[in-house]
Amino acid sequence: MDFDQVIVRIDIKWVKNFIRTYPEYFEKELQISFADGFEFYNSTKNITERTEYYVDKFLKIRNDSPYSKKCMEIFTADSEFYDDLSLTGYGENLKIIYGKGKIRLFIISHCITKTDAESKKRCIEKLFPNVAYSLIKSGTKKSQVIDKYNMHHYFAFVDDSLVNIEDVFSHTYSISKTFGLPIYGYNSKYEHLLEPMNKNLTTL
């Protein structure tokens, strides 16, 4: 089970914190007024429906822009980033079911720095007491974690990245397993690719 964008939304806070911290960005970099930039980019609907996965791409931040690092640090340097995140609808239902002892849960989530890892750790432990989880470096294959902890008996795997789903599907014992993909603007184009992978594959 993934954490970011599956159990909690990180993108909304990330984008809105950037706008609040750097209100001058729109005029300096995009040559539009703050009012126009705020109206579009601060919209939860537009953030959800964006076609770019990375928030800096959504904000049209150039790789060579000084705001590129600033945008990343909105997330990676905030030691309390996860403290007040809201659960997704799926996350709320999962928390209820887990609290009743109806399921066993194993969370596998990528982290960028020690700062965001510690913040995420506190959030996971608060939401799901005594849950098993593994926080891994960006780029680490989640199938390797499943193999490491001998979790091949899993019933379902849920992730917002088709790359991660394909990895787990191809490199773990995936027969009769269910795979879930929460649909956002940035991954909706992959929805049609899921059915051939597994007849039990679901979208959330």
**pLDDT tens sequence across 177-188:** 888 889 999 998
| For residue 203, pLDDT beyond 70 | no
| For residue 40, pLDDT beyond 90 | yes
Q: Under CATH, which architecture does the 82-203 domain have? A: 3-Layer(aba) Sandwich (3.40)
Higher pLDDT: 121 or 204? It is 121
CA distance 82 to 113: 14
Q: Residue 108's CB: how many other CB atoms inside 10 A?
A: 25
Which pLDDT score, from 0 to 100, does residue 192 have? 64
Which pLDDT score, from 0 to 100, does residue 86 have? 87
| For residue 201, pLDDT beyond 60 | no
Which part of the chain has CATH 3.40.50? 82-203
Torsion of Cα atoms, 121 then 92 then 95 then 179, to 10°: -90
Which pLDDT score, from 0 to 100, does residue 76 have? 96
Average pLDDT over residues 101-109: 95
| For residue 37, pLDDT beyond 50 | yes
Mean pLDDT (the chain) is: 93
**pLDDT tens sequence across 113-166:** 999 999 999 999 999 999 999 999 999 999 999 999 999 999 999 999 999 999
Q: What own/partner pairs with CB < 8 Å and gap ≥ 24 does 158-162 have? A: 158/1, 158/2, 158/6, 158/90, 158/182, 158/204, 159/1, 159/2, 159/6, 160/2, 160/4, 160/5, 160/6, 160/184, 160/187, 161/2, 161/187, 162/187, 162/190, 162/193, 162/194
Average pLDDT over residues 8-29: 98
| For residue 176, pLDDT beyond 90 | no
Ranking 32-36, 54-58, 150-154 by mean pLDDT, the lowest is: 150-154
Which pLDDT score, from 0 to 100, does residue 189 have? 82
| For residue 194, pLDDT beyond 90 | no
The reported pTM is 0.91
Map tokens 């773990």 to a residue: 172
Q: What is the pLDDT confidence band of residue 66, given thresholds at 50, 70 and 90? A: very high
CA distance 121 to 94: 18
